């Protein structure tokens, strides 16, 4: 039986790596981002490897857009029983410089988006009697200077995940979270720019603080997501896995 997975924020970085990994695992994959054309490279790579994929766009924080995206996946690829809530943005600043828009934008994408997408997908999982929800948190959930909005959202994702585990477990649906550490993505480049240092300087400094001696790559996160989406993870529910090259509280 071939199942359908929906990955948000999948045009690049962690989302793209996750979409490619799930396709390799045998899932049909809906690749969602703000702009459909940005998803084409990921979709083309999946199809070139023999997989089945669909590119689509949506603002995950918009109620109608989220519902329409899921409906399109159902019509064109099949009812999604795997959801990876990866879509995210940064609006970093120190608290006294942070605007209401900085706060609201991050909450809309990370928390409201995860809520809306999960609400739209869970009915298909309940009908199937099987489902996997994987939410992307972050080590920033433990607190991080200049990220009051992002840290709050990523901590909220953990509470959301654990609540889903309680509510949906009886229907054969598991909900888990992956909390990446320092991963080499466009977001890290943005952070380096905010700190007025080069990406290379930022990476070199970070690697010295990581026990395994390197920064992470998107595939490190995709591997963790793949496990949570597998049949083998059926008794793993409501967990937060820090993928950070070392222990986190």
Catalytic residue among 150, 171, 199, 242: 150
- Residue 242 annotated to the active site: no
Phi, psi of 5 (to 5 degrees): -115, 145
Structure tokens at 58: 């949506």
Q: What is the DSSP string of 129-197?
A: T-EEEEEE--GGGG--TTBHHHHHHHHHHHHHHHHHHHHHGGGTEEEEEEEE-SB-SHHHHHHHHHTTS
**Residue 212, class by beta-carbon neighbours within 10 Å (0-12 exposed, 13-18 middle, 19+ buried)?**
exposed
**C-alpha span between 176 and 58 (Å, rounded):** 23
Site of tokens 């739209």? 120
Question: Given CA atoms 70, 17, 90, 118 in this order, what sign does their dihedral have?
Answer: positive
Give which of 119, 130, 135 is closest to 171, Cα–Cα: 130
- Name the β-bridge partners of 242: 179
Are 89 and 136 in contact, with CB atoms under 8 Å apart? no
Q: Which of 148, 23, 153 is nearest to 96 (CA)?
A: 148
Q: Name the residue among 60, 85, 58, 61 with its Cα closest to residue 179.
A: 85
Catalytic residues: 150
């Amino acid at each position: 039986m071939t199942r359908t997975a929906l990955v948000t924020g999948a045009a690049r970085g962690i989302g793209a790596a996750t979409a490619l990994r799930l396709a390799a695992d045998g899932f049909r994959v809906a690749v969602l981002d703000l702009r459909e054309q940005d998803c084409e490279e990921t979709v083309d790579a999946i199809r070139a490897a023999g997989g089945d994929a669909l590119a689509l766009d949506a603002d995950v924080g918009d109620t109608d857009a989220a519902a329409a995206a899921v409906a399109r996946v159902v019509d064109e690829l099949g009812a999604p029983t795997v959801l990876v809530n990866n879509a995210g943005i940064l609006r970093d600043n120190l608290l006294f410089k942070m605007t209401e828009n900085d706060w609201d934008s991050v909450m809309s994408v990370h928390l409201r988006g995860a809520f809306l997408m999960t609400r739209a997908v869970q009915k298909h999982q309940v009908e199937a009697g099987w489902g996997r929800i994987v939410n992307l948190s972050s080590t920033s959930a433990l607190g991080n200077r200049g990220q009051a909005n992002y840290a709050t959202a990523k901590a909220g994702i953990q509470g959301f995940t654990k609540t889903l585990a309680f509510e949906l477990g009886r229907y054969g649906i598991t909900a888990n979270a992956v909390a990446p550490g320092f991963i080499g993505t466009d977001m890290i480049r943005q952070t380096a720019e905010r700190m007025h240092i080069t990406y290379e300087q930022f990476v070199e400094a970070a690697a010295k603080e990581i026990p395994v001696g390197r920064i992470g790559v998107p595939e490190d996160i995709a591997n963790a997501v793949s496990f949570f989406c597998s049949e083998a993870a059926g008794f793993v529910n409501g967990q937060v896995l820090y993928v950070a090259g070392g222990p986190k509280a």
